[in-house]
Amino acid sequence: MKASNMAINERYNFTNQEERLIYVGYNFSGNGHWHQFEKTSNPGIVWSELQNNDLWMIELTNTKKG
């Protein structure tokens, strides 16, 4: 996944994982800027933060699968 292809409020997941995430943006968090994600089951709380070089681990959620 490339940052330029991501959209705020779009759903993503780590490749081959069931956990569904909502992208909340590229935000400052303590020690730098991070791509932040919330769980769809627990919105409002950042659950994961990734740097640009870690975005290869996520994919757009196929809403037809679940």
The alpha carbon of residue 57 and the mean position of all alpha carbons in its chain are separated, in whole angstroms, by 10
- Bridge partner list, 60: 12
- pTM equals 0.85
Separation between Cα atoms, residue 13 and residue 21, nearest integer Å: 6
**pLDDT greater than 50 at residue 66:** no
pLDDT tens-digit readout, 19-30: 999 999 998 887
DSSP letter at 27 equals: E
Q: Where are the domains of the chain?
A: 3-60
